[in-house]
Structure 1
Amino acid sequence: MGGTNVMWSRPRGMSKSGLIGRQGMHCASGGMHGQSRTSSFTAVHVSTSEDLGKRVVTSASASGEEKELPRLVRAALGHEVDRPPAWMMRQAGRYQKAYRDLSAKYPGFRQRSETTDLIVDITLQPYRSFKPDGLILFSDILTPLNAMGIPFEIDETKGPMIDAPVREMGDMKDMHEIEFDKVDFVGKALGILRDEVKSAEDVPAILGFVGAPWTLATYVVEGKSTNAYKVIKCLCDSSPEVMHALLQKLADSIALYCDYQIESGAQSIQIFDSWGGQLPPAMWDKFSGPYIKHIVSHVKQKYPNVPLTLYAQGCGGLLERMQDTGVDVIGLDWTLDMGDAKKRLRSDISVQGNVDPAKLFSTKEGISQAIDDCIAKAGQGRHVLNLGHGVMVGTPEENVAHFFEYNRQFGKYNK
């Protein structure tokens, strides 16, 4: 269990202030790699066969290769690390000039998120500039819906739009198990990303992600983004059998989508139950938690050493429930005190977060103090440093750079 004692040290003679990280150049990434579905293996170390173009998952922990795993994977699994690894949610996006420039050339979000070379290039943009310890695939939680028979569009101003929302059993007649040829750009991008960074001095983890069934269902039922969730919450009462049927279909396909990402190169998966925090705990127990457990159980049977992270904004009332899903890491939003959260969670659960994203608009001293406080309260080990939500539009890039550089220099643990 974590307390509030400082468990890390600043190297002597090093200053807290004036740290500005690297600024990278924007360039396109290279070629395409094939991949294949694999059978049930047990861990996360991946080797590439150039002859066959296939990625094969082999056991790492059993062969004593834990130290070869990226720092983020080791921290998530509870292995020893020298400092907390760091990445940011919404790490690639509009706060970066490189992304804005690319978006001007390719204005459609779906074009950017469903074209392999663009996915790779955008995912690497923050790595070129800031060298985070994790690279999260540039994609969207709704991306697999088309491959499940749920067509959607994304309006650049209104967000996701689903023309035929699910309100009754008959509305699911065209839903089917996910078809991976319709999301092959995801698999190809993950494979390329693994190859792009494999020779780095400090190899970052390649992170995949999925939406939790409840969060996906909010869009499928409401037909669009919402702040009230009135339609779906009422459907839980009026037609619970419809909701459970929809959630099970989503859970089955998302579990397979996790497998696909891991087999393509992802070394960790984050499950975003972004709107799970909008549910009262009793409703979460019925309509969200069981379906997350289904996904986690499925993935862990095949890949027990691939860490799974669960994040839900507004999760303060759900922490104990979230840890019971079987995930390795709980992502905390910024409204929770890190020390309080550690006391509520079991000692075998890792935590991620949870610096307030607004802090990145502050002074470098303010950012440094927020990192100090977060690391001290998280304790030594089992901590992935992150924001409590995504990087906000307009965040100064030099402050993002300071966040990562400060952690690299001053986030060292005592040995």
Structure 2
Amino acid sequence: MAGSTQIPYLLRAARGEVLDRPPVWMMRQAGRYMKAYRDLRDKYPSFRDRSEIAEIAIEISLQPWKAFQPDGVILFSDILTPLPAIGIPFDIIESKGPIIDPPIRSQEQIDQIHPLEVEKLPFIREILQALRQEVGNEAAVLGFVGAPWTLAAYAIEGKSSKNYSIIKGMAFSEPAMLHQFLGKIADSIAAYVCYQIDNGAQVVQMFDSWAGQLSPQDYETFALPYQQQVVRQVKATHPDTPLILYISGSAGVLERMAQSGVDIVSVDWTVDMAEARQRLGSQMKVQGNMDPGALFGSKDFIRDRILDNIRKAGNQGHIFNLGHGVLPGTPEDNVRFFFETAKQADKLLAVHA
């Protein structure tokens, strides 16, 4: 184990300490933009093999750690990973993404969904324990889960969707059935978060990726109460583990995200960071939010964007990240530069003041 007794830097930010620079990691930092990952993908073409065979998932999770030393190392997995453990099988097709067949469309199917059987997810325990062992206190180990609305959207649509017409149809014509489904998923996701924490996750990020597709009033009806249900259940037994909520396209529901009970709101890049902090209030900690597309720019451009973001966020309660996952095709050298620059932000800001 990395021999150091200090508190991981990312956890210090999550506790609200005033820091010289923000901790930095990247959503999807393990993945297709890295040559090491693509080489491994050629060897193991099935995504589920890569994410569910512990030794492969451990290796993938650690690729960015070895290359860039981020302040957070996140479990390589998928938000759909726990679904088979509640009775919903899925597959991931390389070019098409996740497929759930048959999709969940009837009361009878919802009745058959059972509480999470964590014994069906032993690889999650193995991966998280190995990551903690490997990084010690040099970085925080992050777990992650999908939020109820987003998991329900996948399960009901049967695949990724552009307009979410099937789940919205159910929401607006058979709401009682959908609420029952969301409640069952929320209970299982809460159990899954606790399982990750018990096995080494020091922070857990909940992705409600598709909740940004809801109007504010529907967000309050179909997404927020179930985020709150997950957070409430986790905090009952693990009150000190910081929870992060991320939504893609969240500008319209930013203040409502803060009502979920999470400790940190992860902001996408469509909101100016200074405005996000103002809207969320000084007590709410934030993560984000540089446009991943900025990493296709020149190094001067990348540096200026990083410093602008960090300056706007201030020196307390900020974890620096992208506003979404790093994009395939992003030059690895620019990712390296992103981490190096963020880690020297205090010195660079003094020069560029």
TM norm. shorter chain > 0.5: yes
C-alpha separation between the residues in 2 aligned to 1:158 and 1:394?
18
| Aligned counterpart for 2:313 among listed residues 378, 387, 409 | 378
Whether 1:75 and 2:10 are equivalent positions in the alignment is: no
Which one has the bigger helix percentage?
Answer: 2
Summarize deviations over 1:136-168 as a string: whole Å, max 9, x none: 100000000011100111111111111121222
C-alpha separation between the residues in 2 aligned to 1:353 and 1:328?
14
SS in 2 for 1:256: helix
Counterpart position of 1:216: 151
Structure 1 position 407, deviation (Å): 1.2
C-alpha separation between the residues in 2 aligned to 1:319 and 1:125?
32
The AA in structure 2 aligned to 1:122 is I
Summarize deviations over 1:266-298 as a string: whole Å, max 9, x none: 000000000000000000000000000011111
Q: Indicate if the aligned counterparts of 2:20 and 2:315 stay in contact, CA closer than 8 A.
A: no
Structure 1 position 389, deviation (Å): 0.5
Whether 1:113 and 2:48 are equivalent positions in the alignment is: no
Q: Indicate if the aligned counterparts of 2:149 and 2:210 stay in contact, CA closer than 8 A.
A: yes
Summarize deviations over 1:245-272 as a string: whole Å, max 9, x none: 1000000000000000000000000000
| Aligned counterpart for 1:132 among listed residues 70, 94, 107 | 70
C-alpha separation between the residues in 2 aligned to 1:380 and 1:271?
24
Q: Which has the higher contact order (CA 8 A, sep 6+)?
A: 1
Counterpart position of 1:322: 257
Q: Considering only aligned residues, what root-mean-square deviation do their CA atoms show, in Å?
A: 1.4
The AA in structure 1 aligned to 2:264 is V
Q: Indicate if the aligned counterparts of 1:375 and 1:411 stay in contact, CA closer than 8 A.
A: no
C-alpha separation between the residues in 2 aligned to 1:410 and 1:349?
22
C-alpha separation between the residues in 2 aligned to 1:295 and 1:187?
20
C-alpha separation between the residues in 1 aligned to 2:29 and 2:159?
24
Counterpart position of 2:26: 88
Please list every run of 5 or more consecutive structure 2 residues that lacks an aligned counterpart in the other structure: none
C-alpha separation between the residues in 1 aligned to 2:111 and 2:244?
32
Counterpart position of 1:46: none
Q: Indicate if the aligned counterparts of 1:167 and 1:242 stay in contact, CA closer than 8 A.
A: no
The AA in structure 1 aligned to 2:81 is T
| Aligned counterpart for 1:99 among listed residues 23, 37, 40 | 37
**How high is the TM-score relative to the length of structure 1?**
0.82
Q: Indicate if the aligned counterparts of 2:179 and 2:222 stay in contact, CA closer than 8 A.
A: yes
C-alpha separation between the residues in 1 aligned to 2:15 and 2:134?
24
Counterpart position of 2:334: 399
C-alpha separation between the residues in 2 aligned to 1:359 and 1:319?
23
**How high is the TM-score relative to the length of structure 2?**
0.96
Counterpart position of 1:248: 183
C-alpha separation between the residues in 2 aligned to 1:260 and 1:403?
32
Q: Indicate if the aligned counterparts of 2:54 and 2:127 stay in contact, CA closer than 8 A.
A: yes
Q: Indicate if the aligned counterparts of 2:18 and 2:315 stay in contact, CA closer than 8 A.
A: no
Whether 1:230 and 2:168 are equivalent positions in the alignment is: no
Percent of aligned pairs sharing the same letter: 53
Q: Indicate if the aligned counterparts of 2:8 and 2:140 stay in contact, CA closer than 8 A.
A: yes
Alignment of 1:170-181 (within 5 A): 170-181=108-119
SS in 2 for 1:384: strand
Q: Indicate if the aligned counterparts of 1:214 and 1:276 stay in contact, CA closer than 8 A.
A: yes
Comparing 332-341 and 67-76, the one that deviates more: 67-76
Task: Give the length in aligned residue pairs.
Answer: 346
The AA in structure 1 aligned to 2:123 is F
Q: Indicate if the aligned counterparts of 1:86 and 1:134 stay in contact, CA closer than 8 A.
A: yes
Rg: which structure is higher? 1
C-alpha separation between the residues in 2 aligned to 1:385 and 1:410?
11
Moved over 3 A (4+): 411-414
Alignment of 1:4-403 (within 5 A): 68-198=6-136, 203-403=138-338
C-alpha separation between the residues in 2 aligned to 1:94 and 1:318?
30
Please list every run of 5 or more consecutive structure 1 residues that lacks an aligned counterpart in the other structure: 1-29, 31-66
Structure 1 position 364, deviation (Å): 0.7
C-alpha separation between the residues in 2 aligned to 1:145 and 1:132?
29
SS in 2 for 1:318: helix
Q: Indicate if the aligned counterparts of 2:212 and 2:250 stay in contact, CA closer than 8 A.
A: yes
